Chain A
Amino acid sequence: MQDFPAPVAFDNSHLNRMTLIICLVSVVTAGLFYINGIHNPYAVLPAAVTAITLGIYIYRRLSRKSAFTSLSDRIHYQSVLHDYGLEETPVRAKAQGLANRFQAFRLGNHSRELKKLLHGRYHGDEHEFTYDYYHFHYVNRRTETYTTTDSKGNVRVRTRTVYDHFDRFGFIVAFQFAKNLRISESGLSFFNKGWKSSSVSFNKNFNVRADSEMEAAKFLTPKLILEIEAAGKALTGLDMEFNSAGDLCFSFDDRNTLAKGRMHGLENPVDFEREIAGHSSQPKLDSALEFIHTLMKYSDNNFEHPTRSR
């Protein structure tokens, strides 16, 4: 990258030259029409050609700039994946399989789609685990009624189908310390049932469902209650689902776990190379993984060896 003379940019000289020539020819032609007193419909042709040429010129310049930015984004994104040891996994037909494992993937009455699946590994102080980070998109279809009024003042009630699009993001991790338990910010109601912790503020913000109260009480130690509350403040729509197979699906609405956040781009290749050569920092991803590690740390048995696999 250092072979490129800074700053790197598209070579627009040909485009500029062509645009200038066409515009000049158009202006000269228009001038000749004017001098010769030609006022037939063809006289607007040079103006139309100039307008179209300028339109194409602006479009080309903007699309080239956008392509440049998007290429920098792609390179930076690949660099982040590399730094965190993340691998993109094919997502075809995965949503249905996940829906069989977690309720979090049974959302949407019209369509469900897994848009992204990244596979990585986390090395904590006490536990190591593999994880899948995903982007799940689902669509709800509903029919709504609306009224229209025509020019004569007649009011008609009509119906139309509306598609609401939603995105969820999260992690899937093998978690052997809790089963059949769901802790969620949604599904709260005034007459909320389910297990209640000893924290008034936790009960106000979270709904806990478990097969047995013992399972919930054992897992939700005071330390984890505070940790989950803190995670709930940092994330929107937090949902933690521990299924019967010993897997955790930790999901939320926030899409910025892997933030773009690059400082430089291809416009400045030397600084950009230096930036991607260093270890990129993804604070939200780090916090989420640290949170999962904390869940493991405070729910394991200290007198057994910590997990180092899966």
Chain B
Amino acid sequence: MEALYVILGLGIIIVVMGIAINNGIIRRRNMVVRAWADVITYERQKNETLPALEKEAHNYKDHEKSLLADITALRSAIGKASRGTVNTDDLASIEAATAKMVSGFNIAVEAYPDLKMADVTMSLMRKISELQDNIAAAISIFNSNIEVFNSGIQVFPNSLVNSMFTHEKAYKPFENEAATSSLGYSPQRES
């Protein structure tokens, strides 16, 4: 009879542990999705600065055409990204379009030193710079949450619970290709 109680007790402990691990995996997955939504939200906040940038672009006559084309490309890339579905390829497109647009804007601003000192231009540049800082931070939080989530499904006994019940797959962290290529290094395993 005592052996039965022990087996029953152990069974209850295993079930409770399994439920806790399963819930933990789901909680961490939701945190990944939330962090991703933050990244996209901040990317979309760029939309607020784009009308002002378009207006500014008219002042930079020699660069107007290319600036407007960059802004349109960025707007289109932002429009494709979804807050609900984690897709780092979309993010890579937005980041590439942003880098191109910011670089074009900086070149235009340098060509017109008088306009560079204007309050509107300075406010815009500050706003874009702070937005980019926030996006970089949001990406960092997103990657950190992915690390926690991936560890949470790969370590034992979580891996067992995941393979039997939760069936979650590891997320791929976002890598800034421009930064990686400028570094000329990416971690690789020994063969």
Partner-B contacts on A (CB < 8 A) = 126, 197-202, 221-223, 225-226, 297-298, 302-303
How many Å from the CB of A166 to the closest CB on chain B?
33
**Main SS class of interface, B:** helix
Contacts of A126 in B (CB 8 A): 126
Beyond A221-B134, A303-B123, A303-B127, 6 additional contacts (C-beta under 8 Å) are A198-B35, A200-B31, A200-B145, A201-B148, A297-B130, A302-B127
A201 and B38 contacting across the interface, CB-CB below 8 Å: no
B141 within 8 A of A: yes
Contacts of A226 in B (CB 8 A): 137, 140-141
How many Å from the CB of B15 to the closest CB on chain A?
21
How many Å from the CB of B41 to the closest CB on chain A?
10
How many residues of B are in contact with the other chain, CB < 8 A?
22
State in angstroms the CA–CA spacing of A202 and B138 once bound together. 12
How many Å from the CB of B36 to the closest CB on chain A?
9
State in angstroms the CA–CA spacing of A59 and B175 once bound together. 66
B38 and A222 contacting across the interface, CB-CB below 8 Å: yes
B171 within 8 A of A: no
How many Å from the CB of B40 to the closest CB on chain A?
12
Contacts of B145 in A (CB 8 A): 198-200
Partner pick for A198 among B31, B126, B130, B135, CB 8 A cutoff: B31
- Most chain A Cβ neighbours within 10 Å, of B42, B126, B145: B126
B28 within 8 A of A: yes
B110 within 8 A of A: no
State in angstroms the CA–CA spacing of A200 and B27 once bound together. 10
Q: Top 8 closest A-B pairs, CB basis?
A: A222-B137, A222-B138, A223-B137, A302-B127, A198-B35, A199-B141, A198-B34, A226-B137
Contacts of B130 in A (CB 8 A): 223, 297-298, 302
A223 with B144: in contact, given A198-B31, A198-B35, A303-B123 (CB under 8 Å)? Answer: no
